[in-house]
Amino acid sequence: MATASRTLFSRAFQTAARQALPKPTLRRNLTTFNTTSTRSTAQSLRRGAQNARRQSTQATPPKKGGNGLLLGVLAVIAIGGGGYAYTSGALDAYLVDPEEAKKPKTGKGWIPSFKDYQDVYNDIAAILEEDPDYDDGSYAPILVRLGWHASGTWDKESKTGGSNGATMRFGPEGGHGANAGLPVARDLMEKIKQKHPWITYSDLWTLAAVTAIQEIGGPNIPWRPGRTDKDITACTPDGRLPDASKEQKHIRDIFYRMGFNDQEIVALLGAHAIGRCHPDRSGYEGPWTFSPTFFTNAFYQLLLEEKWINKKWKGPNQFIDKKSGGLMMLPTDMALVKDKEFRKHVERYAKDEKVFFDEFSDAFAKLLELGVPFEKDDKWTFKRTTDDA
Ligand code: HEM
């Protein structure tokens, strides 16, 4: 599509969406909305937002609290719509005996069902936009980062690290430089843990990442429970997570150590379509895309389409887009277009969002399972709160 009509479409959509949405002060009251028409309005606005966003390389970069407002309102409406649970892989697990459901969710012999986990999913979904002033209006990106940093410590040789253990709860690992800022996500999950004390932190954090991705328009991520929490002695040494100032060799060292190949690495890094860098956390600054609270393939499109120049500042070396100066790329992100093997996957994903979604889903589900000794073979797909009941 030509640039001009792309911009026009994007502006037209934004105006329509602004007019259609209630004032921010009314947003809290929207949680009581529960009609099909409200849900479908939310869905069509959301679809419109996704279309506008896909064509938005000419748009204005997001301001904090900016486009999150739209997603926030849509999500609150959708949550008010209240999806209920079903599972593609394990319907039997959802069809709980009503007598069973009344029993207390504790004690020996009680085994949580799919519905219990779907309840946790729904409760996480319900607080993603609870603070419109947080970043771009959603906690989804930082929950994805929590799930990734909890899992990305896996070392396939020593069989240590990974999501099984939730050892980031303890000082030695929580204090690693790479984990700066993640107390925000862990504290948020504490509320969910209090309501569902039976779930392990390691299951909860990975389920939170799944919820976050699905609720902001990403692919389904099949998930299964079975992680246990370990003590402080299982904390991993510092240096297992990637260093953003480095390039392809380092990226391969880190991800090959976990058991990923080049295609999976490029797919995983597409998560940088969401969220932003914070100077007080990593030292870097800014979002990667114009739509940091929507999961899309925009990261790859922008990598290829924009001209990226070094940012002139006192902070660590990073790149900004020449056109608006409001977007950023890390040195590790730029390595994906510099390296021939990586680049061919960047091109595939930029061209076809479905291919990206499918391959991201496989790689992310694998990441969350590294080193976990599951007893259960089949995986569950949780129902989005944005889907029709
Ligand atoms: C070479 C690999 C990677 C490097 C060097 C890297 C580096 C970073 C850095 C420096 C930040 C900014 C943190 C802050 O200042 O708040 C960040 C944020 C983020 N990363 Fe990565 N990352 C990598 C891979 C991944 C992967 C594999 C995922 C998920 C699949 C991921 C998901 C995210 C998300 C969602 C954020 C935004 C967090 C927020 O908005 O608070 N990253 N990453």
Q: Is 52 in the pocket of ligand 1 (CB under 6 A)?
A: no
pLDDT value of position 62: 62
Report how far residue 302's alpha carbon sits from residue 327's, in angstroms, rounded to the nearest whole number. 9
Using CA of residue 196, residue 198, residue 202, residue 206, what is the dihedral sign?
negative
For ligand 1, atom 20: residue with the closest CA: 145
pLDDT value of position 180: 98
What pLDDT digit, counting tens, does each position of 263-319 carry? 999 999 999 999 999 999 999 999 999 999 999 999 999 999 999 999 999 999 999
CB 67 within 8 A of CB 291: yes
CATH for 248-369 is 1.10.420.10
CA of 209 to the centre of ligand 1 (A): 13
Ligand 1 probe mutation, 277, 296, 299, most atoms within 8 A of CB = 277
CA of 146 to the centre of ligand 1 (A): 9
Phi, psi (deg, nearest 5) at residue 320: -130, 155
pLDDT value of position 146: 99
Which residue positions in the chain have pLDDT lower than 50?
1-58, 65-95
pLDDT value of position 68: 43
pLDDT value of position 103: 64
Report how far residue 56's alpha carbon sits from residue 176's, in angstroms, rounded to the nearest whole number. 36
Q: Which atom of ligand 1 is nearest to the CA of 276?
A: 40
Could you say which of 148, 205, 223, 288 is catalytic? Answer: 288
pLDDT value of position 76: 38
Q: How remote is the C-alpha of 385 from its chain's centroid?
A: 15
CA of 269 to the centre of ligand 1 (A): 8
Q: Which atom of ligand 1 is nearest to the CA of 250?
A: 1
Pairing mode of beta strands 276-277, 319-321: unpaired
237 closest CA partner among 316, 183, 181, 158:
158
What pLDDT digit, counting tens, does each position of 114-172 carry? 999 999 999 999 999 999 999 999 999 999 999 999 999 999 999 999 999 999 999 99
Q: Is 245 in the pocket of ligand 1 (CB under 6 A)?
A: no
Q: Which atom of ligand 1 is nearest to the CA of 142?
A: 41
CA of 353 to the centre of ligand 1 (A): 20
Any catalytic annotation for residue 149?
Answer: yes
Q: Is 271 in the pocket of ligand 1 (CB under 6 A)?
A: yes
DSSP 156: T
pLDDT value of position 387: 87
CA of 72 to the centre of ligand 1 (A): 22
Any catalytic annotation for residue 288?
Answer: yes
Q: Is 332 in the pocket of ligand 1 (CB under 6 A)?
A: yes
For ligand 1, atom 13: residue with the closest CA: 277
pLDDT value of position 48: 45
CA of 272 to the centre of ligand 1 (A): 6
pLDDT value of position 190: 98
pLDDT value of position 226: 97
pLDDT value of position 105: 74
For ligand 1, atom 3: residue with the closest CA: 242
pLDDT value of position 308: 98
Q: Is 251 in the pocket of ligand 1 (CB under 6 A)?
A: yes
Phi, psi (deg, nearest 5) at residue 373: -85, 80
